[in-house]
Structure 1
Amino acid sequence: MPVQMTTLENGLTVISDEMDHLKSAAVGVWVGAGSRSETDDQHGISHLLEHMAFKGTKQRSARDIVEQIEAVGGEVNASTGLESTAYYARILQEDLPLAVDILGDILTESVFDADELHREQHVILQEIGAAHDMPEDRVFDHVQEKAFPDQPLGRTILGTPQMVQSFTPKAIHDYMDDHYHGPAMVLSAAGGVKHDELVNLGREAFSKFSNTDVSAPQKAVYKGGESRDVQKELMEAQVVLGFEGKSYKNEEFYTAQILASLLGGGMSSRLFQEVREKRGLCYSVYAFHWGFADSGLFGIHAATGAEDLGELMPVILGELMRASEDLTLEELNRSRAQIKAGLLMSLESPAARASQIARQRLLFGRTLSTSELVEKIEAISVEDVRNMAANLFTKSSPSMASVGPVDALMPLDEVSKRLGTGA
């Protein structure tokens, strides 16, 4: 059965993908507000709100929320991203009404009790500390900050200890009042679900949200730069080299996805074979491409020992430049197959499918059929990917971040010169 979509009177969209062979369902609410939506004095409030939504409502205590969903064998959780926040549950199909009721309750009737807030702020401070203790997490935070400096897109989702501790219940209510409106919200479900039932449940649970448009976040401006966090006591060095990528809405988005797969998407990729297998210069190397609403970040991550840093970056740069010259149809077909397989496999997971169609609605105003996505991927040629490599790595200033014993790492100005972007 095709995806069904209904827009409620308050602008909230209800989407479902019925998988009639399943006896379970995944259901959630996706809100088009994440850390990018925060002002300077709200850094980290999106993530704090996600935590506080489960800490008690006018009808349910924090314990009631988890006990009621777990009493039917279900589970409930949430996640905060740069551009959206999701609250979701996994249940048996007959328990869909309970799951939607709980989701509606936590999003419309949360009390944000001051004592609960104080406890959760402490929990998030521990989360921030844990992330700081993980060099791989820190290096990605640093590269994003250098790619998009002095703007929400370049800030961490978790926030800073000082900022998180400053938030009051009123600040959280005010943030919700500004960003949680019907047109920016999607109730999405996949699995053993009936669309008409979901619409009726959604109308009852989320009627309190207004039909008010939400202002767009600050426009992303890519700049580039270097962050070098020298930690000589560490045994390993974490390095990320980044470039401005493509927006989800850019017609070249999937070309960039294919390029990332070709370079470092698996054990057969160029970087893995040349850097790790042939030369043994690192124990982990891969490429990634993150798309945002109006920009993107393409990057390469490597983890290695200090003794190999001097040789590592020249080899990586050589592979980046070579991709624009001798990329083959065989490599393209292999990457195409990997991406198509990922798309098709996601259809077998209710949770992945509910998230996919909700995010598509928020990004594009509609859902995209699998055949449409496959058609876009099939249309990409070897020349398209070669041109992408030639332009991506030479037309904008790179971003680079490193954490660990990184004294021997090639400096950014030398990286730029080798790529042809420096003086």
Structure 2
Amino acid sequence: MSRVSSGRVSSGRAVTRVVDSDPLGGTVRRTVLPSGLRVLTEAIPAMRSVSFGIWVAVGSRDETGSQAGVSHFLEHLLFKGTRKRSALDISAAIEAVGGETNAFTTKEYTCYYARVLDQDLPLAIDVMCDLVADSVLAAADVETERGVILEEIAMHDDEPGDEVHDLLARAVYGDHPLGRLISGTEETVSPMSRRQIQSFYRRRYTAPSIVIAAAGNLDHADVVKLVRQALAGTSLDGEPAAPAPLRPAGTRVRTSRPGSVVEHKETEQAHVVLGCPGIGRLDDRRFALGVLNNVLGGGMSSRLFQEIRERRGLAYSVYSYASQYADTGLFAVYAGCAPGKVDEVLQLVRAELAEVAAHGVTEAELARGKGMAKGSYVLNLEDTGSRMSRLAKGELLFGDLLPVDELLARVDAVSADEVNALAADLLARPMSLAVVGPFDGDDFSIAPG
């Protein structure tokens, strides 16, 4: 394992080292700039493209209640113009060379990225660094994007299959920021002022909190040089500082008492999610969790899919998933079915979870769960975007970059005893229930453990 140091760097001097040399990819190098900003690259000469991303260690969980949605609002606004470029200049510059740009906000970080031909990487670096470091946040743009975001929120409300997962987060985490919508709500976005957004931008978008990652046909020294040039004279070219430490995981996140949240909608299909608090991403059991999730609901051969869809035909879509944060997590099972079949589906889901909690998984299931995990890891690294994300997440979320071979070895090392112990703990926890469909709140009692 390549543990990443967050120690202070010398004033005015960048510090570079090789982090990993991956036989399935290329050499990974890491440079810490004097400002505390980190640059990681993976050189893959066989590629003709490069993915370039700027990752900021701030997300919706860093907002107060009145700020809910400001990270997402800011993500929209940064594409609206800088002192050098208009919104059209930004999009046209990248599209003129056949590239693409986008961004996304999560509960713990925000990412801005571009994918271009290798020869156009200097352009992508200049454009992306400019929009992240020097956005003007014009008042007119704030109003324009406010309308866009309110439409996005309304559109999300019209997608019950998406909405139900947010309802479960609210059921589990309650008033904690992890229980809120990343986009915010109409009540928080409508009154949000330019001053609030700008203050959040200046306080949170600092060099020590930013990781820049790139993967593809590139030269590390050239990338570092281009980044330093693009950021020169901006707020991200500040006084010498150390990179920000990992988000702390020592504080236990308070969860709500298990219960049910029901959103009444006259839908043809009911959407249900049953879930409970899970484990954090730095928990040593995360590899066992990946295997367990695959066995339960990770594919067409999983227990839940076979029992609920294949044998009984009760649902078109049924799966389990695990979300992991710095200090907690979420484990859940989703099913979409006819409203009249909800009770039977929930009964079968609970029975399957109880069975695995009590008796564990078979050796055949263990082997299949491992194979799925390993295949997913490797297949997800078949493009430059995934490689770029791996670098950034390793640095920003874990503080290290596990070589692919070591990652696969960690999965191989998972034992039946580890999976079964985790199942006995996790699947026996009291479950909360979220439902979107033609029901009333009193149609579902508090979900039993």
Specify the TM-score bucket, using the shorter chain as the normaliser.
Answer: over 0.9
Structure 2 residue 407 is the aligned partner of structure 1 residue 373: yes
Structure 2 residue 234 is the aligned partner of structure 1 residue 201: no
Deviation string for 1:247-280 (max 9, x for gaps)? 1100011211211111111110000000111112
Deviation string for 1:42-63 (max 9, x for gaps)? 1000001000000011010000
Q: CA deviation at 1:320?
A: 0.7
Structure 2 residue 54 is the aligned partner of structure 1 residue 29: yes
Q: 2:374 aligns with which of 327, 340, 347?
A: 340
Give the superposed CA RMSD. 1.9
CA 1:283 to 1:408, structure 2 compared with 1: closer, same or farther past 3 Å?
Answer: farther
Partner residue in 2 for 1:383? 417
Deviation string for 1:297-343 (max 9, x for gaps)? 00000111122122111111111111131511111111111111111
Structure 2: any 5+ residue segments left out of the alignment?
1-25
Partner amino acid, structure 2, of 1:317: R
Q: 2:114 aligns with which of 76, 80, 89?
A: 89
SS of 1:27's equivalent in the other structure is: strand
Partner amino acid, structure 1, of 2:329: G
Partner residue in 2 for 1:47? 72
Whole-angstrom CA distance in 1 between matches of 2:440 and 2:416 = 38
Partner residue in 1 for 2:267? 234
CA contact (8 A) 1:309 1:406 kept: no
CA contact (8 A) 2:79 2:131 kept: yes
CA 1:230 to 1:196, structure 2 compared with 1: closer, same or farther past 3 Å?
Answer: closer
Whole-angstrom CA distance in 1 between matches of 2:191 and 2:168 = 26
CA contact (8 A) 1:25 1:91 kept: yes
Deviation string for 1:365-423 (max 9, x for gaps)? 222211221121111111211111111022x332211110346998454x42xx4xxxx
CA 1:336 to 1:126, structure 2 compared with 1: closer, same or farther past 3 Å?
Answer: same
Structure 2 residue 108 is the aligned partner of structure 1 residue 74: no
CA contact (8 A) 1:143 1:226 kept: no
Whole-angstrom CA distance in 2 between matches of 1:351 and 1:301 = 28
Whole-angstrom CA distance in 2 between matches of 1:282 and 1:266 = 14
Partner residue in 1 for 2:13? none
CA contact (8 A) 1:17 1:191 kept: yes
Aligned residue pairs, count: 415
Partner residue in 2 for 1:155? 180
Q: CA deviation at 1:219?
A: 5.8
Structure 2 residue 352 is the aligned partner of structure 1 residue 327: no
Partner residue in 2 for 1:281? 314
CA 1:110 to 1:408, structure 2 compared with 1: closer, same or farther past 3 Å?
Answer: closer
Partner residue in 2 for 1:358? 392
Comparing 223-232 with 341-350, which one deviates more in the overlay? 223-232
Partner residue in 2 for 1:65? 90
Whole-angstrom CA distance in 1 between matches of 2:418 and 2:119 = 48
Whole-angstrom CA distance in 2 between matches of 1:167 and 1:233 = 32
Q: CA deviation at 1:65?
A: 0.4
Partner residue in 2 for 1:402? 435
SS of 1:348's equivalent in the other structure is: coil
The 5 Å alignment of 1:133-148 reads 133-148=158-173
Comparing 102-111 with 81-90, which one deviates more in the overlay? 102-111
Normalised to the residue count of structure 2, the TM-score between the two structures is: 0.88
Structure 2 residue 282 is the aligned partner of structure 1 residue 249: yes
Q: CA deviation at 1:214?
A: 5.9
Structure 2 residue 343 is the aligned partner of structure 1 residue 318: no
Normalised to the residue count of structure 1, the TM-score between the two structures is: 0.94
Q: CA deviation at 1:123?
A: 0.5
Q: 2:214 aligns with which of 175, 183, 189?
A: 189
Partner residue in 1 for 2:14? none
Partner amino acid, structure 2, of 1:369: P
Structure 2 residue 324 is the aligned partner of structure 1 residue 299: no
Identity of aligned pairs, percent?
Answer: 39
CA contact (8 A) 1:128 1:160 kept: yes
Whole-angstrom CA distance in 2 between matches of 1:50 and 1:117 = 11
Partner residue in 1 for 2:15? none
Greater share of helix: 1
Partner amino acid, structure 2, of 1:238: H
Whole-angstrom CA distance in 1 between matches of 2:84 and 2:441 = 59
Whole-angstrom CA distance in 1 between matches of 2:315 and 2:129 = 48
CA contact (8 A) 1:188 1:355 kept: yes
Whole-angstrom CA distance in 2 between matches of 1:128 and 1:224 = 27
Q: CA deviation at 1:168?
A: 2.3
Q: CA deviation at 1:213?
A: 6.7
Q: CA deviation at 1:226?
A: 2.8
Q: 2:196 aligns with which of 166, 171, 174?
A: 171
Q: CA deviation at 1:153?
A: 0.9
Whole-angstrom CA distance in 2 between matches of 1:83 and 1:60 = 29
Whole-angstrom CA distance in 2 between matches of 1:219 and 1:156 = 21
Whole-angstrom CA distance in 2 between matches of 1:170 and 1:332 = 53
Whole-angstrom CA distance in 1 between matches of 2:297 and 2:50 = 34
Partner amino acid, structure 1, of 2:353: L
CA contact (8 A) 1:224 1:398 kept: no
